[in-house]
Chains A and B, each alone.
Chain A
C-alpha cells in the first residue's frame, strides 16, 4: 500500500490497532463455532459445571453416536446429500442448456424470456410457498425427495441462467465455425465443445447451488411434514431440540455433524465461491 519506505510511527501504530481490533472481532465471530465443537465433546453434566472453559475433560464421542444413531442424523445426513446433489445436477442441467441458447442465439421470444427472468429476480421463495406445496401435492411430489429437488432447483435460478448466458456470449464465433466445418451438429457443438469450455461457470453454479440446497430449510420443512424419514439436517435439528430440550451436548454434536460437511466444502472451493459472488455484484 504505502510507497514510502519508512512508515511514520502513527501509521504503524494504526496498523497494530487495526489488526488487534480485527482479531477481537473475528474471535467474537467464530466463538459460537468454537463453543459448539467444545460442547459436542463434553459430558452432559460437564456441560453445565465447567462454565466458560472450552476445553472438555475428555473427548466424549458418546454425544456423536447418540445424535447419529438415536437422533436419526445418519438418515438426515443421507437425505441432505441426496437432496443437495440432486438439486445441483438439476440446476446445472437446465441452466446450462437455457443459458447457452439465450447467450448465443437470436431467436423469436428471446427478449421475452430474458425480460421475464430479470423481472422475477427479487421474488423470494417464501412468497410462493403455498402454491408450490399445492402444486407438488397435486403432482404427487409432496413427501418425496424428488419434490424437494424440483422445488429447490426449479425456482429462483435466474442468476445461474444469466451467468451461463453471459459466459457463452463471450466465446468467439470462430470456435463453433471451425466445428461446423468439421461437420459437428448443434448438439455435438454444445456437449463436446461449449459445455467443457464453461467449466469455471459450472463450478461457480455448482458451488452456489450446493450451499443454497444444503442450507435450505423452508422447502424441506413443509415437504416432509408427512414423513419424518425424509427430513434433511436443518429440519431434523429443529425436531431434535424439540424432543431433547435438555440434551445440550447431544444438540451440539448434531449441529457439528450437520455443519462439518458444508464448512469443509466451503474451504475446498472458497476460490470459486468468492469469485462468483464478487463477479455477480460487479455486473
Chain B
C-alpha cells in the first residue's frame, strides 16, 4: 500500500481525507452506482414488501406484514417455491456432475478436445431469452424436429408435448437449462483439474492404480473445495432462470413451471392489476432463502478447508 499515515487528532483525520481526495474521487462513480442500484433496492425492498401498492404511478398504502401473511397461505406462491426447489434439486447435480464427467474426459488430451469444448460452450454465449423461444419450436409436438426424429426412428409412436404437458414441462426446462449452461461449468471444472499436480498421477500409476482409481482417490478428494464453490455458483444461478423460463414456457402449462422469478414478474409486471408490494414480499422472502443457502455452503466450505490444516 502506498499511503499510510498515523492518525490521532481530528485535524490529522481531515488532513488525511483531504490528501486522499483523488482516491475518493475515483471511488465515487462505483459507490454512487452501487448505492443506487444495489444498496437502495435491497433496503427499500423491505419497506415495499409492506405496502399495498398497485402500480408504479400510484402511491402505496402501508399494511405491515399483511403481504407475508397472505404469502403463507398462497397456494400459487408455494407452488412456485416448490417448482424452484424441484428445478434446483434436479438441475444442479445434473449440470455439475455431467460437466465434471466431461471435464475428466476432455482433460485426457483426447484428439479434438478443443473442438468439443467449444461446441459444448456455444449455447453459453448465446442469449437465453432467444434460445427459450427457439426451443419452443424445436420441441413443438407436431412439427418440431425432436418429435419428428423420435417418431420417424420408431422410438415413439405418439409425439411428446414436451412443454405443453404439466408432468413433463418442468423436466424439459431442466434439460434445456443444463444444455444451455453446461459449457461454463465445464470450463470451471477444467480450470479446477489444472490445479491437480501431474506428478501425483505418475506416482499413483507407478503404484499400479487404474485410471478409475486415480480419479476416485486422487482427483475427486483434491477437487472438494472446487466442488463446493462450483455447486454454490450453480445453485445461485438455478434460482435465476427467468430469461429461459419466461420465453420457453411463461410458467405454464397451468403454473407447472412457474418458478419464483416468474411468480414475482407476473404479480409485478404482467398483470392488469399489478401488486408491487406483494411481489416485493415474495421476492424478498425468497432472496433471504437463497442467501441463507449460500451462507450454509460457505460455512461448509470453510469447515472443509480447515480440516486438512488441523490434521497436518
A interface residues (Cβ-Cβ under 8 A, vs B) = 1, 15, 18-19, 22-23, 25-26, 29-33, 35-36, 39, 47-48, 51-52, 93-95, 97-98, 100-102, 104-108, 113, 116-117, 120, 122-135, 137, 150-151, 153-157, 161, 173, 176, 186-187, 190, 211, 214-215, 217-218, 222, 225, 233-235, 237-238, 241, 248, 251-252, 255, 258-259, 262-263, 266, 270, 273-274, 277-279, 281-282
Given contacts A122-B290, A124-B239, contact A93 B29 (CB under 8 A): yes
Q: Residues of A contacting B109 with CB < 8 Å?
A: 1
B43 to chain A minimum Cβ distance, whole angstroms, is 8
A118 to chain B minimum Cβ distance, whole angstroms, is 11
Q: Residues of A contacting B265 with CB < 8 Å?
A: 218
A65 to chain B minimum Cβ distance, whole angstroms, is 20
Distance between Cα atoms of A251 and B144 in the complex (Å): 14
Q: Indicate if the CB atoms of B33 and A22 lie closer than 8 Å.
A: no
Q: Indicate if the CB atoms of B38 and A156 lie closer than 8 Å.
A: yes
Q: Residues of B contacting A33 with CB < 8 Å?
A: 122, 126
Q: Fill in one digit per residue for B264-292: 1 if any A CB lies within 8 Å of its CB, else 0.
A: 11001100000010011001101100110
Distance between Cα atoms of A95 and B229 in the complex (Å): 24
Instruction: Tell me if B191 is interfacial: C-beta within 8 Å of chain A.
Output: yes
B92 to chain A minimum Cβ distance, whole angstroms, is 15
Q: Indicate if the CB atoms of A277 and B26 lie closer than 8 Å.
A: no
Q: Indicate if the CB atoms of A277 and B44 lie closer than 8 Å.
A: no
Which parts of B4-33 form the interface with A (CB within 8 Å)? 4, 13, 16-17, 20, 22-24, 26-27, 29-31, 33
Q: Indicate if the CB atoms of A234 and B127 lie closer than 8 Å.
A: yes
Q: Indicate if the CB atoms of A29 and B30 lie closer than 8 Å.
A: no
B93 to chain A minimum Cβ distance, whole angstroms, is 18
Given contacts A18-B108, A98-B27, contact A241 B133 (CB under 8 A): yes
Q: Indicate if the CB atoms of B1 and A123 lie closer than 8 Å.
A: no
Q: Indicate if the CB atoms of A131 and B48 lie closer than 8 Å.
A: yes
Q: Indicate if the CB atoms of B268 and A130 lie closer than 8 Å.
A: yes
Q: Indicate if the CB atoms of B122 and A29 lie closer than 8 Å.
A: yes
Distance between Cα atoms of A153 and B243 in the complex (Å): 18
Q: Residues of B contacting A235 with CB < 8 Å?
A: 129
10 contacts between A and B (CB under 8 A): A22-B106, A32-B138, A105-B3, A126-B240, A129-B264, A129-B268, A154-B34, A155-B37, A255-B130, A263-B122
Q: Indicate if the CB atoms of A258 and B26 lie closer than 8 Å.
A: no
Q: Indicate if the CB atoms of B36 and A282 lie closer than 8 Å.
A: no
A252 to chain B minimum Cβ distance, whole angstroms, is 8
Q: Indicate if the CB atoms of A122 and B26 lie closer than 8 Å.
A: no
Given contacts A32-B134, A215-B126, A281-B191, contact A270 B118 (CB under 8 A): yes
Q: Indicate if the CB atoms of B119 and A238 lie closer than 8 Å.
A: no
Distance between Cα atoms of A129 and B263 in the complex (Å): 13
Q: Indicate if the CB atoms of A255 and B37 lie closer than 8 Å.
A: no
User: Which residue, of A39, A105, A233, A235, has the highest number of chain B Cβ atoms within 10 A?
Assistant: A105
User: Which residue, of B4, B129, B137, B269, has the highest number of chain A Cβ atoms within 10 A?
Assistant: B129
Other-chain contact of B152, A51, A122, A134, A153 (Cβ < 8 Å)? A51
Distance between Cα atoms of A15 and B112 in the complex (Å): 11
Distance between Cα atoms of A247 and B125 in the complex (Å): 26
Q: Indicate if the CB atoms of B29 and A94 lie closer than 8 Å.
A: yes
Distance between Cα atoms of A270 and B226 in the complex (Å): 23
Which parts of B92-134 form the interface with A (CB within 8 Å)? 102, 105-106, 108-112, 115-116, 118-120, 122-123, 125-131, 133-134
How many chain B residues touch A (CB < 8 A): the figure is 96
Q: Indicate if the CB atoms of A281 and B188 lie closer than 8 Å.
A: yes
Given contacts A98-B29, A113-B31, A262-B127, contact A248 B137 (CB under 8 A): yes
Q: Residues of A contacting B106 with CB < 8 Å?
A: 22
Which parts of B169-224 form the interface with A (CB within 8 Å)? 179, 184, 187-188, 190-192, 194-195
Distance between Cα atoms of A95 and B33 in the complex (Å): 11
Q: Residues of B contacting A102 with CB < 8 Å?
A: 27
Instruction: Tell me if B247 is interfacial: C-beta within 8 Å of chain A.
Output: yes
Q: Residues of A contacting B136 with CB < 8 Å?
A: 241
Distance between Cα atoms of A142 and B287 in the complex (Å): 25
Other-chain contact of A278, B56, B138, B190, B240 (Cβ < 8 Å)? B190
- 7 closest A-B pairs by CB: A154-B33, A131-B41, A128-B41, A98-B30, A278-B191, A106-B1, A26-B119
A23 to chain B minimum Cβ distance, whole angstroms, is 8
Instruction: Tell me if B42 is interfacial: C-beta within 8 Å of chain A.
Output: yes
Instruction: Tell me if B148 is interfacial: C-beta within 8 Å of chain A.
Output: yes
Q: Residues of A contacting B280 with CB < 8 Å?
A: 130-131
Q: Residues of A contacting B3 with CB < 8 Å?
A: 105-107
Q: Indicate if the CB atoms of B27 and A277 lie closer than 8 Å.
A: no
Apart from A36-B134, A108-B13, what are 16 other A-B pairs with CB-CB below 8 Å? Answer: A18-B105, A19-B112, A23-B116, A26-B116, A29-B119, A29-B122, A33-B122, A35-B138, A39-B137, A106-B1, A130-B48, A131-B45, A157-B30, A176-B2, A217-B242, A237-B247
Q: Indicate if the CB atoms of B129 and A186 lie closer than 8 Å.
A: no
Distance between Cα atoms of A132 and B44 in the complex (Å): 10
Q: Indicate if the CB atoms of A222 and B105 lie closer than 8 Å.
A: no
User: Which residue, of B149, B152, B287, has the highest number of chain A Cβ atoms within 10 A?
Assistant: B287
